[in-house]
Amino acid sequence: MHDVVVTGIGATTPLGGDMPTTWTAMLAGESGVRALDDLPDDLPVRLAAPLRVEPGTALDRVTARRMDRCEQIAMVSAREAWADAGRPEVEPERLAVVIGTGVGGVLTMLEQDDVLERSGPRRVSPHAVTMLMPNGPAAWVSLDLGARGGARTPVSACASGAEAIAMGLDLIRLGRADVVVAGGAEACLHPLPLAAFAQARTLSRRHDDPAAASRPFDVGRDGLVLGEGAAVLVLERADFARARSARPHGVLAGAGLTSNAYDIVASEPTDQARAMRLALESAGLEPQDVDHVHAHATSTPHGDPIEAEAIADAVGARPVVTATKSMTGHLLGASGALGAISALLALRDGIVPATRNLDELDPRVRLDVVRGEGRRGDWKAALANSFGFGGHNVCLAFTRA
């Protein structure tokens, strides 16, 4: 099997319009969560983490109008990652794209339904189908880059972005591609998704202090905060990258995927831990090799302690742990890709961002969770967890370049 390196990264998030800005904000402990003023008065939750920079600033107007917001931000992030990688010269048939999403073009779906009801079928956009389809982000990026080695779209709820990266790893290891552009995108800040998550009692209602609403592992957490964003990595076969003198950010060493077969929403630690063990096996690592874990940790009362138990079971309590959703909110299908980049940069730069809003650690969380300020160290290997409704568990393993 071929070794796989990460040569490019890109993102647009509630913390910044690109990955360097986002990473700087993460290390500074900033929050992208705020109260939204343009929502219906009767909506029970009015907190979210919207993009810091609108995607239209990076796309031409004609192209942007043919895309759903989810597709726009995937394109913005992919272009940044491609430029960061040095725009590799690769045969189109050996270049693949894998962009995951949880719900895809839901904003287009809801908007065009309003148009249909208000103005009739003749006013529905002729671009509606290609704007709302979940494979739209991968399709648009493949068109932009001329990728003919496949354009794929894993849809596994909040694990989608991480599963896309795992799929990219497989494509290269199996010899089906030399370069894969992989990641996730999500944009669904709308009254309906907010109301639906609120009815499921998963959202924080800390309206008095929005920046403190997302608080993974904290004893006072009361739910997650919905966010929007995209994150993309350029994966390359290691010898292909060496041949063009590319300087990788790090190594995508392995991946593990499992399913709980337990409950459509609730999770349990056994198969989360098994995903971590499979990632270690795939990477040729032992539990004691892991220095850092980027936790999925969404800030829900039920989910955080379960993941903490799984981490302790799989790799013990020694690795330093962080949860950057405390700053970005939960980017759903993009969250796993952004978490992967955070873990990768922690190894590259030797610093793990602190978990924001962690005032009192839940006593059930027996882990070394970084808080206050970032933790510096000589980190060599990291895991990035991502879990989704439906029982999807993905763990990615990275090592320093």
Q: Which residues are catalytic?
A: 158, 296, 330
Q: What is the DSSP letter of 354?
A: P
Alpha-carbon distance 107 to 317, whole Å? 41
DSSP letter string over 194-206?
HHHHHHTT-B---
Fill in the amino acid letter for 69.
Answer: R
Q: Which two tokens stand for residue 109?
A: 């779906």
Q: Which two tokens stand for residue 221?
A: 């957490």
CB contact at 8 A, 371 and 358? yes
Spatial CA neighbour of 172 closest among 180, 161, 162, 184:
180
Measured from the Cβ of residue 195, the count of other Cβ atoms closer than 10 Å reads: 17
Q: Which two tokens stand for residue 342?
A: 């955070």
What secondary structure, in 3-state letters, does 119-148 show? Answer: HCHHHCCCCHHHHHCCCHHHHHHHHHHCCC
Alpha-carbon distance 9 to 325, whole Å? 19
Q: Which two tokens stand for residue 78?
A: 């992919």
Say which residues have a Cβ less than 8 Å from residue 87's Cβ, sequence separation at least 6: none
CB contact at 8 A, 181 and 84? no
Fill in the amino acid letter for 108.
Answer: T
Q: Which helix (H) or strand (E) holds 212?
A: none
Alpha-carbon distance 296 to 249, whole Å? 22
SS3 (DSSP) at 22: helix
